[in-house]
């Protein structure tokens, strides 16, 4: 008669540790998602996506992907139409069609939301 003994501590480490089988798979999927998010991120925002960190949670390993850019909330959520005024100078200066333009007020039309992080999630699956 064969006896089966299960080392529950080993099973627990395999399932719940960030360095166990499930944790390594979570890290691989998070790395793929972060790489895809860097492709979708606008402008210099892609450079501000930190490497994913896998950590232990009550439900097993989980990963956090952090974007350290001051405008990430505006990109993901979009912005309503708003006015832009100079804060430290008398006028705004920008280029339109190759010409330098000055203005005391600009009516910005707003931006549509671009949730590039959620668009990147299918890369993990």
Mean pLDDT, consecutive 10-residue stretches, the chain (125 aa), reads: 88 84 91 95 95 86 93 96 95 94 95 95 84
Give the pairing type, strands 60-64 and 82-84.
unpaired
User: In this predicted structure, what is the pLDDT of residue 46?
Assistant: 94
Residue 56: strand, helix, or coil: strand
User: In this predicted structure, what is the pLDDT of residue 68?
Assistant: 95
Rounded to two decimals, the pTM is 0.78
E-assigned strand segments in the chain: 53-57, 60-64, 82-84, 92-96, 99-103, 106-108
Q: Are 56 and 64 in contact (CB under 8 A)?
A: no
């Amino acid at each position: 008669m064969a006896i089966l003994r299960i080392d529950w501590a080993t099973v627990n480490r395999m399932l719940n540790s960030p360095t166990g089988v499930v944790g390594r798979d979570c890290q691989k999927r998070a790395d793929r998602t972060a790489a895809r998010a860097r492709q979708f991120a606008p402008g210099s925002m892609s450079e501000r996506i930190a490497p994913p960190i896998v950590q232990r949670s009550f439900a097993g390993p989980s990963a956090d992907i952090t974007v350290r850019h001051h405008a990430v909330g505006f990109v993901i959520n979009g912005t309503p139409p708003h006015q832009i005024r100079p804060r430290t100078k008398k006028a705004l200066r920008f280029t339109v069609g190759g010409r330098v333009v000055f203005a005391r007020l600009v009516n910005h039309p707003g931006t549509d939301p671009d949730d590039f992080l959620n668009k990147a999630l299918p890369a993990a699956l």
